[in-house]
Amino acid sequence: MTTLRDAAADAGVHVGAAVDADSLRTDTDYRETLAREFDAVVAENAMKWGRLATGEGGYDFADADDIVEFAERHDMYVRGHTLVWHRMYPEWLRPWSRSEAEARRLLRTHVQTVAGRYRGRVDAWDVVNEAVADDGGLRETQWLEALGPDYVAEAFEWADAVSDADLFYNDYGADGRSEKADEVYELVSDFVARGVPIDGVGLQLHVFDEQVPPADVAANVDRLTDLGLKVHVTELDVGIGAAVDDRAEQADYYRDVVSAAVDAGADTVVTWGVDDGQSWLPVASGGGENPLLFDEQFRPKPARDAVVDALSR
C-alpha cells in the first residue's frame, strides 16, 4: 500500500502532522503511524511560549526536543510553531503592564532563545501566528498594545538573526477569497517590498463550518507564490458536520483541496493531528467530528487514500 509519505516524495512535497509530545512518548500506534505515513512534523503545542516557560527567563525544552529528535531519527522535515502569538504565553508575562522597552526585550529574547536553540534542526518557523484581525488590520493584542504595529516585522528580523530556517507568517481564514485573505496578502506584500526577511505564508485551512472552495485556495496560493513566497497548508482538518456530510464527502474534499493547493505551488501540507481521537476540532468548533486521515484506532480512512490520490496525479 502506498503511504502518504511515498506519495509526497513522488510529488516533490512534504506531508506532515501536528504532534503531541505525550502521545509520541507513550503510544506505539501513534508513533508508528506518524513515522510510516508522514515525512514532516510540527509541534502542536510544545514550542509555544506558555508550554516552554518554567518561570521568568526559564525554559523546559524536553517536549520540543523529543519531537525534533524523533523527526531527525526518521528523516522528517520540521516546522516550528510558533514564536509570537497572542495566546498561550506565560502567566507572569503581562506585556501590557511593562514598559515598551522591557516588553520588546522580553519578546526578542524569547524569539531568539527558541529559534536559536533549533538553528539547523528546524526547517521552517511560524514566526508570527494570527496577527491579522478577522475584520481587517492587525488584531488588538497585548503585543500590538505594548509595541505597536512594527512588532510583526521586528519578530521576523529577530528570528532571521539567529535562524537559518524559512520564516513564515501563519493564519486562519486566509486560505481562500476573503477580506482577511486580502489583509494577509497586503501584510506580506508590504514585507516583501520593505525587505523584511519573510520566506513564506502558512494557510491553516481548518474546515468545519463551511467549505473553502478549492479553486479559491489555489488562487490564493498562486498570488502568494507570485510574490516569491513559499506557501504551506499548515493546519488542515475537515470536520464531518456542517462542512461535509460523511466520510465519502470528506474524502472528496481532501482530494480536491490538496490537489488544488499543490498544483498551485504549495510545497507542504500538514494536518492538525494524526488521528481523530486526539483532534482539537470537535471540542473547539462544537462540531467538525472525525476530521483527520486516521480514525481513533489509527486505521486509514477514505480521506487518507484521497490525499494519496491527490499527491499521485
**Helical H runs in 27-78?**
28-37, 49-52, 62-73
pLDDT band at 97, cuts 50/70/90? confident
**Is 235 known to be catalytic?**
yes
Report the alpha-carbon distance of residue 63 to residue 48 in Å, rounded. 11
88 in Cβ contact with 51 (< 8 Å)? yes
Report the alpha-carbon distance of residue 151 to residue 139 in Å, rounded. 12
Q: Which residues contact 86 (CB under 8 A, 6 or more apart)?
A: 130, 131, 139, 141, 142, 143
pLDDT band at 7, cuts 50/70/90? very high
- Spot the catalytic one: 37, 44, 130, 183: 130
- Output the DSSP codes for 161-202: HH--SEEEEEESS-SSSSHHHHHHHHHHHHHHHHT----EEE
Q: Which residues contact 6 (CB under 8 A, 6 or more apart)?
A: none
In 3D space, the residue among 96, 95, 68 whose CA is nearest the CA of residue 81 turns out to be: 68
pLDDT band at 57, cuts 50/70/90? confident
Give the tens place of pLDDT for each residue, 10-52: 999 999 999 999 999 999 999 999 999 999 999 999 999 999 9
Statement: the pTM of the whole predicted model exceeds 0.85: yes
Q: Quick one: pLDDT at residue 115?
A: 98
State how beta strands 268-271 and 14-19 pair: parallel
Domain residue ranges of the chain, discontinuous segments joined by + = 4-312
Q: Quick one: pLDDT at residue 137?
A: 95
- Spot the catalytic one: 37, 44, 183, 235: 235
Q: Quick one: pLDDT at residue 160?
A: 98
Report the alpha-carbon distance of residue 14 to residue 266 in Å, rounded. 10
Q: Taking 90 as the threshold, does the pLDDT of residue 241 lie above it?
A: yes
**Is 157 known to be catalytic?**
no
CATH of domain 4-312: 3.20.20.80
Q: Quick one: pLDDT at residue 76?
A: 98
What is the residue-averaged pLDDT of the chain? 96
